Amino acid sequence: MEPDVPTLQGDLLLQAVQGMERPLFVLAEDWRFRYVNPAGARVLDRTVEGLIGRDVWEEFPEAVGSPFEQLYRRVRATRETGSTEAWFEPLGKWFRADAFLTEAGLVVTYDDVTERRRILEEREQAGRHLMLLGDINLAMTSTFDTDEAVDRFARLVVPLLADLCLVSVVDPDGTRRDIGRAHSDPDLVEAMHRYADARVATNRPSAPVPTALRDSRPVIIPQLTDAHVEAMVANPEARAALRPLDITAVAVFPLIARGETFGALTLANGSGRGAHTEAELRTAEIASRRAALALDNARLAAASQQVAERLQLSLLSPPVQPDRLELSVRYRPATRGVSIGGDWYDAFLQPDGDTVLVIGDVMGHDIEAAAAMGQVKTLVRGIGYDRLDEPAGLLRRVDHALVGLDVPAMATALVARVELVGDPEGRPARQLRWATAGHPDPLLLLEDGTVIDLAAPIGPPVGIGWLGPRTDAVSPLPDGSTLLLFTDGLFERRTMLLDEGRDLLRDLVGGSAGLPLDALCDRLLTGMLDADVEDDVAVLAVRMHPLGAQRPEEAGPELLPPALPIL
C-alpha cells in the first residue's frame, strides 16, 4: 500500500524516501503503518508488506509505555518535533527516533545506534575503571591498618567489578583471614558473612583461593557448577551457607608483592549478572596488583611502627612504687609519622630513699630523637642516683655531661624530688623540691579539687653548656594530693595560645578530683588529645597517700629496686 502521491508531494519525493538508507515509517491517525521504506523494514526485522496497515502497538506491544510511545504521542499532541534514544528489548537494539507531524501522518525516522552506544558505554566503563583504580590507590595508601585497607578495597570494587568481593590475607604465621567483605545487595550481606566465616576452614586445596595462593595465578570460573562447589567446599554446612548467594561466576586473583603471595582477591557474581566481562577481569587484575603493593607497604609500615613502639617502651622503664606513693605514667606517640620520639618520663629512688621524678622532651620526633632521649635519660638516672644533688644541681651536671660527651641532643627537662620532712608540729610530711630546664611547670591537684600551678625559676634546656645558675623551688605535698608532670604536647595546640591550652588542662584536672590515679591519667589523654595528635605526649602522675596509714589496695603493690643501699 503506497501513500497518495499528493500527500507525499510527488513521485520524486517518494523515490527519494524509498531509496533512503535511513529507516523511516509513517503512522496514520489510527496508529497504523501507512508507509515503511525498505531500510526501515530491515532494521525492524520485518518486511514492508508485513507492516503496512498494521497497528504499531499490536505489532510491537513491547513499545507500549516505552519512551518511543511517549515521543509519538507527545509530537502528535503538541505538533512539535521531538526525539528520543532508548533500548528496544524485542530486537535487542538501541534506537534513536526522530518524529514530526505531516499531512501524511506521523513521520518517524530512526537509527540503530547499538554500536555507537556500545562504544560509548565501553569508554564510560573504562573511565569508571580508571577512577576506581585511582580511588583504590588513595583509599589504601591513606592508612597503615591492613584490615581497614582491605575493607576499603572490597567496598570500592563492589558493584563496579562484581556483586560480591572477599579479600583474603595470610598473616605471617600462615593464618588465612577473610577480612575484606562487601556485597551489592544489602539483603545478602548476612549470608555473605556466614559463608565467609565458614570458607577459610572448609575450603578444599582445590578451591580457587587455595589454588591462587599456591600457584600465584588467577583462577577464573565463568560458569560455576555444582561440581565446582563440591570441589571447592568440603563441609555441607558451608555449601548450605553459599547457596543463598546464588553464585554463578567466580574470579580469584592472587595478591603478590616483592615476589611474595600473601593474599587473594575473590570476585563473584550472582545469576542476574552472569560471567565477568573481559574489561572487568582486566581491571580486577590491575586492581589486585595495586592493592597488593598498598597492602605490602601497609604491612611494612605496621611492622616498622611496632618496632618503633617497642623501642620507645624499652626506653621508658616502669616507675617505682614507693610505700604510700602511687605513680602512674602514660605515653602517647604522635599519630603522624614514626611512633617514636624524644618525650620521656622516669622515676627512681636515690640511695637515701627519696623518690626522684623526671620528665623531659628531646627536640625532634624521629628515631634520632629517641636515641638521643635514651642517652639523656641514662645520664639523668646515673648522675641522679650516684650524686645526691638537689634537682638544680643534677640538671647542671647533666647539661655539662651532654656537652662534654658530645651528645648531639638538646632537651627540656624537669627534675623533682619527693622529700620526707617534718611539719611545724614535728609530724612526718612531704615536700617537693624541683627545678626546670625550659620545661612546662607541674600542676598539683588537692583533694578538694583545687589546682595549684607550681612555678620555679626557668633555666635553659640542657645540652647547651649553660654556665649560669639553676635554681630549685620547694612546695609542700599534702596527703591526698596528686602531682602531675607532663610534656607540652598535652596542651599545646596550633589553634590556640599556650595559656589557653594550659587553662583547659587546669580545668580538666580540677574536675577530676576523686578519680583513681589511672582513671585520672586516662581522662587527661582523652580530654586533651584528639585523634590526630601532632606531638608526643608523656605524663607522670604521683598521688600522695597518707603517711600514717597503710598503702591502699587501689595503689597496687609496692615496687622497689631489689637492692637499695640506704645511706
Q: Which fold has domain 142-306?
A: Beta-Lactamase (3.30.450)
Encode burial over 453-464: b for 16+ CB neighbours within 10 A, e otherwise: ebebebbbbbbe
Its CATH architecture, for the domain 317-546, is 4-Layer Sandwich (3.60)
Residue ranges covered by each domain of the chain:
11-112, 142-306, 317-546
Identify the pLDDT of residue 309: 66
Sheet strands (E) in 234-323: 247-257, 260-270
| Rounded (to 5) percent helix, strand, coil in the chain | 40, 25, 35
Q: What pLDDT, on a 0 to 100 scale, did the predictor assign at position 308?
A: 66
Ranges assigned E (strand) in 71-116: 82-88, 93-102, 105-112
Cα 239 to chain center, whole Å? 33
- Nearest Cα neighbor of 16 from 43, 48, 38, 45 is 38
Pick the closest to residue 296 from 427, 403, 170 (CA basis).
Answer: 170
Q: How many helices (H) and strands (E) does the chain have?
A: 16, 21
pLDDT given at position 11: 47
CA distances (Å), 133 to each of 139, 214, 535, in order? 10, 26, 34
Give residue 215's Cα distance to chain centre: 31
Cell of 127: 573511565
What's the fold here for domain 11-112?
A: Beta-Lactamase (3.30.450)
How many CB atoms neighbour CB 495 within 10 A? 6
Residue 545, classed as helix, strand or coil, is: coil
Kind plus residue range of the DSSP H or E element containing 518: helix 517-528
In angstroms, how far is CA 286 from the centroid of its own chain?
Answer: 22
Residues 6 or more apart whose Cβ sits within 8 Å of residue 107: 24, 25, 26, 99, 100, 101
Query: In this structure, are residues 180 and 165 in contact, taking their beta carbons and an 8 Å threshold?
Result: yes
Helical H segments across 321-414, by residue range: 367-386, 391-404
- Residue 560, number of CB atoms within 10 A of its CB: 13
Q: What is the pLDDT of residue 470?
A: 96
103, 116, 175, 261, 558 from 561: Cα distances, Å: 110, 83, 42, 49, 10
d(CA 462, CA 410): 6
How many CB atoms neighbour CB 483 within 10 A? Answer: 25
Closest to 372 (Cα-Cα) out of 362, 382, 380: 362
pLDDT at residue 318, rounded to an integer: 83
Among 401, 368, 361, 409, smallest CA distance to 382 is for 401
In single-letter form, the type of residue at position 530 comes to D
DSSP type of residue 316: S
11-112 and 142-306 share one fold? yes
> pLDDT at position 49, please?
94
Q: How far apart are CA 80 and CA 75, in angstroms?
A: 5
Altogether, the residues listed in the chain come to a count of 567
All three cell numbers of 376, joined, read 639523656
Q: In this predicted structure, what is the pLDDT of residue 6?
A: 38
Cβ within 8 Å of residue 91, ≥6 positions away: 44, 45
Q: For Cα atoms 446, 450, 454, give the angle at the middle one, nearest 5 degrees.
A: 75
pLDDT beneath 70, residues of the chain: 1-20, 302-314, 335-340, 365, 563-567
